[in-house]
């Protein structure tokens, strides 16, 4: 799938993080969302490599081929803070103390936390199709709760959601994948979709994703509320699906403007999974943004 990319697993504080990488130039770390893996970047990453970037695509802990540790009682080891620490450790191990950061969905929430906790490491950050966690959970309107029901289902105590999902993982995950913004099987690359389906049948990954959502309610919301008023210092790009659920429920740029020091926003054709359905458009948006915010540029 990632032709010409090297692959590896690096231990960060005893947690193995799986990644693929290729290219030379300024480093770009790309983080996937739910219910996907790093395979979601398979048609975007090569385009960035061709534009002269060193691209690293990693699986979050609990997902894909990365480790899926047993959740601690307080769920802190599945928080966005813990996941951000994994990725900073991965990039340092690969020789990159400063890098561009790109995230979609859960990966974008990890990217937001990483940019706040490790500002010196982040040259730029791209957040795809999310509103801040504190906004979504702090002002939970009925239409949001109905659409984003999975947040609360997955956060139920184990093993209830895991048992329900494992009874028919394809039904559950395809309902998520094809239900947010009107995407259908035809909007996804067949090889990438097969990689997602393979991950859905890993019971440890099912538990990992549930722990991710449990931690959002138990840990991440409190972290974000404690950091209200703290802004991302790096230049930020907010990309969102023009026909997606988030764009229908929120003014996405407005939810981020007060959380960023410098922000641009672009609507991309498609729903929540526009990186899958419109990879060329996403790659162009990223390339244009990264060129304007080179690590080596003065100031």
Greatest Cα-to-Cα distance within the chain, rounded to the nearest angstrom: 55
Radius of gyration in angstroms for the set of CA atoms belonging to the chain, rounded to a whole number:
17
| C-alpha–C-alpha distance, residues 17 and 233, integer Å | 26
Concerning whether 112 is annotated as a catalytic residue, the answer is: no
**DSSP class of 10:** E
Long-range CB contacts (within 8 A, 24+) of 15-18: 15/61, 15/66, 15/67, 15/69, 15/86, 16/66, 16/67, 17/58, 17/59, 17/61, 17/66, 17/67, 17/86, 17/87, 17/89, 17/90, 18/58, 18/59, 18/64, 18/65, 18/66
Active-site hit among 86, 105, 129, 220: 105
Catalytic one among 100, 112, 272, 293? 272
Contact in structure between 283 and 44 (CB atoms under 8 Å): yes
- In angstroms, the CA 142 to CA 139 distance is 10
Active-site residue, 105 included? yes
List the catalytic residues: 105, 272
């Amino acid at each position: 799938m990632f032709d010409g990319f090297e692959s590896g697993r690096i231990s960060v504080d005893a947690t193995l993080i799986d990644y693929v990488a290729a290219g030379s130039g300024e480093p770009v770390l790309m983080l996937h969302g739910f219910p996907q893996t790093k395979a979601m970047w398979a048609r975007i990453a090569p385009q960035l490599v061709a534009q002269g970037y060193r691209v690293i695509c990693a699986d979050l802990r609990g997902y894909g081929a990365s480790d899926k540790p047993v959740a601690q009682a307080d769920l802190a080891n599945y928080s966005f803070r813990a996941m951000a620490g994994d990725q900073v450790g991965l990039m340092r191990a690969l020789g990159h103390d400063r890098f561009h950061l790109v995230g979609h969905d859960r990966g974008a929430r990890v990217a937001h936390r990483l940019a706040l906790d490790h500002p010196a490491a982040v040259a730029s950050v791209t957040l795809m199709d999310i509103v801040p966690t504190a906004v979504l959970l702090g002002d939970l309107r009925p239409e949001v709760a109905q659409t984003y029901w999975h947040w609360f289902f997955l956060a139920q105590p184990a093993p209830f959601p895991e048992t329900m999902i494992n009874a028919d993982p394809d039904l559950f995950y395809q309902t998520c994948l094809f239900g947010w913004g009107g995407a259908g099987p035809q909007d996804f690359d067949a090889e990438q979709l097969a990689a997602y389906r393979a991950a859905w049948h890993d019971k440890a990954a099912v538990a990992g994703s549930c722990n991710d959502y449990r931690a959002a309610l138990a840990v991440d919301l409190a972290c974000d509320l404690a950091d209200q008023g703290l802004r991302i210092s790096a230049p930020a790009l907010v990309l969102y699906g023009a026909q997606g659920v988030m764009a229908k429920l929120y003014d996405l740029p407005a939810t981020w403007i007060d959380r960023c020091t410098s922000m641009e926003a672009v609507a991309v054709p498609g729903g929540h999974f526009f990186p899958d359905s419109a990879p060329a458009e996403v790659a162009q948006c990223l390339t244009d943004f990264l060129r304007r915010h080179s690590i080596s540029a003065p100031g």
